[in-house]
């Protein structure tokens, strides 16, 4: 890796495929890097965000056996945007099916935003399968965090929230989440696709400390917005199918494992309080609060800390 770059060079998978996990869902998966290397699992955000070639670049490909997959309803997994038969428990089962299929005993677990939620939930269910965690933009899917996402971001992005709200008739704006759910889960493509674009644009407009036009455009595309819009609303409506604050209450199950938490100080989508609460419950974890960053993994300061974390897990045996 060059000193002038934040991440490792682009790489291509050495193996990829699909895995049918039930009668509805088929997952896309891939492996990159060193086939004999230290296994690491990448968990994407959203829910519904999917993986991208950029996600391979947080890891030294000479050292890591990098496993990525698109969760149910996301990315190249089919059907895109399918929220039925889609719960946190089923996603955890999917992770285990992939691990067993690939013959992996233990792996480092890397996840950002919703990926941090799923990483914690998976680790608390299968701590014996985890070497440690690299977590970014912490989201615990509590009621307060969901309310913040749907309503609270108005305090920082009032014009963006106004556009999000204006897509809903005035009579339904008292409960924007329910109003969007009504449209996102209907059977009319014209209605649910428009609702998904509005939802996804709302998030994409708030990702970076300085909004990025390309990110907003990407989030507005049908390929991205359908997964993000439908699945984020689905999981938020149902509290990620967990008890309130379950991830903090069960942190004792993984507290003995090493972890690095990377959080943007000005993350409006997943404010720093959640990362701080997680660190308080898990004092052995290392918390990096990046002072000049928002939510996105590709914020320079965040990308730098994420790569530094994967290098620490590679180089220092105390992390393993």
The catalytic residue positions are: 113, 267, 295
Distance of alpha carbon 3 from alpha carbon 22, whole angstroms: 45
Concatenated DSSP letters of the chain:
--TT-SSPPP---SEEEEEE-SSS-EEEEEEEE-TTSEEEEEE-STTTT---GGGGGGS-TTTEEEEEEPPTTSTTSBSTT--TT--HHHHHHHHHHHHHHHT-S-EEEEEETHHHHHHHHHHHH-GGGEEEEEEES-----HHHHHHHHTGGGGT-HHHHHHHHHTS-GGGGGGHHHHHHHHHTSS-HHHHHHHHHHHHHHHHTTSSSS--HHHHHHHHSHHHHHHHHHHHHHHHHTGGGS-TTHHHHTGGGTTTS-EEEEEETT-SSS-HHHHHHHHHH-TTSEEEEETT--S-TTSHHHHHHHHHHHHHHHH-GGG-
Instruction: Mention every residue, 6+ apart, whose C-beta is less than 8 A from residue 284.
Output: 255, 256, 258, 259
């Amino acid at each position: 890796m060059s000193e002038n770059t934040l991440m490792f060079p682009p790489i291509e998978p050495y193996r990829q495929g699909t895995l049918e996990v039930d009668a509805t869902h088929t997952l896309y998966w891939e492996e990159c890097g060193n086939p004999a290397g230290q296994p690491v699992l990448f968990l994407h955000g959203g829910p519904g965000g999917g993986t991208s070639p950029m996600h391979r670049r947080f890891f030294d490909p000479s050292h890591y056996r990098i496993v990525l997959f698109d969760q149910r309803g996301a990315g190249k997994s089919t059907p895109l945007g399918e929220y039925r038969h889609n719960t946190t428990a089923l996603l955890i089962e999917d992770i285990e099916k992939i691990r067993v299929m690939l013959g992996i005993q233990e792996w480092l677990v890397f996840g950002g935003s919703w990926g941090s939620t799923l990483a914690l939930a998976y680790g608390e269910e299968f701590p014996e399968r985890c070497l440690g965690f690299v977590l970014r933009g912490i989201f615990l899917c509590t009621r307060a965090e969901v309310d913040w996402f749907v309503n609270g971001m108005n305090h920082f992005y009032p014009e963006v929230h106004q556009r999000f709200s204006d897509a809903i008739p005035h009579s339904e704006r008292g409960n924007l989440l329910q109003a969007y759910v009504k449209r996102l889960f209907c059977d009319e493509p014209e209605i649910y696709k428009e609702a998904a674009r509005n939802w996804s644009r709302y998030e994409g407009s708030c990702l970076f400390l300085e909004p990025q036009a390309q990110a907003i455009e990407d989030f507005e595309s049908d390929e991205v917005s359908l997964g993000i819009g439908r699945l984020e609303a689905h999981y938020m409506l149902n509290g990620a199918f967990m008890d309130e604050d379950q991830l903090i209450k069960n942190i004792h199950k993984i507290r003995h494992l090493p972890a690095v938490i990377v959080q943007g100080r000005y993350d409006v989508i997943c404010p720093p309080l959640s990362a701080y609460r997680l660190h308080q419950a898990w004092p052995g974890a290392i918390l990096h609060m990046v002072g000049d960053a928002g939510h996105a993994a590709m914020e320079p300061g965040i990308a730098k800390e994420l790569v530094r974390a994967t290098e620490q897990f590679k180089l220092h045996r105390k992390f393993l």
